[in-house]
Structure 1
Amino acid sequence: MIKLLIVEDHHLVRLGLRGILDDAPGIEIIGEAESGEEALRLCRDLVPDVILMDISLPGLSGFETSCRILRQLPEVRILALTAHAQAPYPARLMDMGVAGFLTKACSANELVRAIRTVHCGERHIGNEVAAELAMALLPGAPRSPFQTLTPREMEVALMLAEGRRVNDIARLINVSPKTVATHKYRIYDKLGVDSEVALLREAIRHDLIDAAT
C-alpha cells in the first residue's frame, strides 16, 4: 500500500484529488496539509511514501517545503503538482531530487500512474513539463535568469523575495547567517539585481511568486 500525503492549499482541489485517489487500488491517503509548515509536521508524524506537493503554497512555498522535506527524509518521493510548467521550476526541482512533476491539467489516469511510478523509484515527468524542458534546451530559447541558480540559491532567493530576513532563513535551512549572506549576493549577481525589492519584481515577472504576495 502506498502511503500518500496531499499538500494543497485549496480545499476544493484537495477534495477533487481525494475523489480520484480514494478509488485507486493500492493508494492510501494518510493525511492532507494546506500549508508547507503543516506538511513538515505531518511528514515527521506520518512518514509518507509519496507526497503530492502543490508548488504554489502560501507562506513556506512548495519549493522550500520540498527542499526541507528531502533534507530530513531523503527516502520520501515527492511528486510536484503545479498550475503551469514554466521554467525554472521543473529543472530546479528535478536537480533537487523531486521524483516527478505534473501540471494540474493532467488526467486522473496519469496522476495515479505517476504516483505508482515514483513510488517504484522511477521518475515521472508529465507531457507538458517534458515539452517545457525540451524547449528550454533548444538553441536560442529564452531562459529565465533563475535557471542559473543552484537549488539552494533558488530556495534562498524565494525566501528573500517573500521578505524573510537573513537570520530567519539561516535558522530555517540550518546554516549560518554568513552563509545565507553569501548566497544572497551570489543570487543578486546572477540575476542582476541590487535589492530585495528588485528580486521580488523579477520573481513576480517570471511567475515564481504571485503578485499579491
Structure 2
Amino acid sequence: MLRLAIVDDHRIVRAGFREMLADELGLRVEFEAASGEEALQKLREQPCDVLLLDLSLPGASGVDVLRAVRQRYAALKVLVLSGFPEERYALPMIRNGANGYLCKDCERDELIRAIRTVAQGRRYVSPRTAELLADELAGVSAALPHESLSERELQVFLRLAKGESVSGIADTLKLSVKTVSTYRSRLLEKLEVASNAELAAYALRHGLMVG
C-alpha cells in the first residue's frame, strides 16, 4: 500500500485530491496538513511514501518544507502540486530536490501516473516541463536568473520579496544574521538588482510570490 500525504492550506483542494484518489487501488491518504509546520510535525508521527506538496502555504512555504524533507527524510518522494504554471517553478523545484511538478488543474489519470512514477524512484515531469528542459538543453531559451538559485537562496529570496527583514529570516531559518546578509548580497548580484524593493519587483514581474 502506497501511503500519501496531502499538504495544502485550502480544505476544498485537499478534499478534491482525496476524492480523486479514493477509488485507486494500492493508494492510501495517510494524513492531510494545512501548513508546512503541520506537515513536518505529522511526518514525525506518521511516515509516508509520497508527499503531495503545495508551494503556497502559510508560514513555512513549500520551498521550506522541501528543504526540511530532503534533510530529514531522504527516501520520501515529493510531488509538487502547484497553482503556478511550470514556466515559473518547475525547473527550480526539480533542481532543488522535488521528484516531480504538476499543476493543480491536472486530470486524475495524470495525477495517479505522477504519484506512481515518483514512488518508483523516477522523476515525473509534465509534457510542458519536459519541453522546458529540452529547450534549456538545446540552448533555445536563456534560463532566467532565478532558475539557477540554490534551494537556500530561493528560500531567502522569496522571504525578502515578501518584505521580511534579514533578522526575521535568520530567526525563521535558524541562520545567523551574517549568513542571511551574505545570501542577500549574493541574490542582488545574481538577479542584477540593487535593493529589497527591486527583489520584490523581480518576484512580482516573474509571478514568483508564494505564501
Q: What is the TM-score normalised by the length of structure 1?
A: 0.89
Structure 2: where are the runs of 5+ without partners?
none
Residue 39 of structure 1, CA deviation: 1.6
1:85 aligns with: 86
SS for the counterpart of 1:17 is helix
The alignment partner of 2:200 has SS state of: helix
SS of 1:92's equivalent?
helix
Q: Quote the RMSD (CA, aligned, Å).
A: 1.9
1:59-138 correspondence to structure 2 within 5 Å: 59-83=59-83, 84-87=85-88, 89-138=89-138
1:101-144 deviations in Å (ceiling 9; x for gaps): 11223221121121122112111112222223333444352532
Counterpart secondary structure, 2:208: coil
Number of residues paired by the alignment?
210
- What CA distance in whole angstroms lies between the structure 2 residues aligned with 1:135 and 1:35? 34
Q: How far apart in 2 are the matches of 1:48 and 1:90?
A: 23
Q: Which residue of 2 aligns with 1:157?
A: 157
SS at match of 2:135: helix
Query: How much has 1:154 moved relative to structure 2?
Result: 1.2
Q: Which amino acid aligns with 1:45?
A: E
Match of residue 169 from structure 2 = 169
SS in 2 for 1:106: coil
Matched residues in 1 for 2:139 and 2:133: separation? 13
Q: Which runs of 4+ in 1 moved over 6 A?
A: none
CA deviations over 1:13-56 (Å, ceiling 9, x no partner): 21110111111111111111122222222222212211001122
Cα contact 1:68–1:173 (8 A) shared by 2: no
Aligned to 1:101, the other structure's residue is in SS state strand
Tell me the distance in 2 between the aligned counterparts of 1:29 and 1:159. Answer: 31
1:184 counterpart = 2:184: yes
Q: Does 1:48 align with 2:48?
A: yes
Aligned CA distance change for structure 1 residues 91 and 4 (closer, same or farther; 3 Å): same
Identity %: 39
Structure-2 residue corresponding to 1:20: 20
Deviation string 1:80-107 (CA, Å, 9 cap, x unpaired) is 11221013x2222112221111122322
Alpha-carbon distance change, 65 to 152 in structure 1, aligned in 2, over 3 angstroms:
same
1:203: how far off? Answer: 0.7
Task: Supply the AA of the counterpart residue of 1:85.
Answer: E
Q: Residue 146 of structure 1 corresponds to which residue in structure 2? A: 146
- Contiguous gaps of at least 5 residues in structure 1: none
Contact kept? 1:102, 1:126, Cα under 8 Å: yes
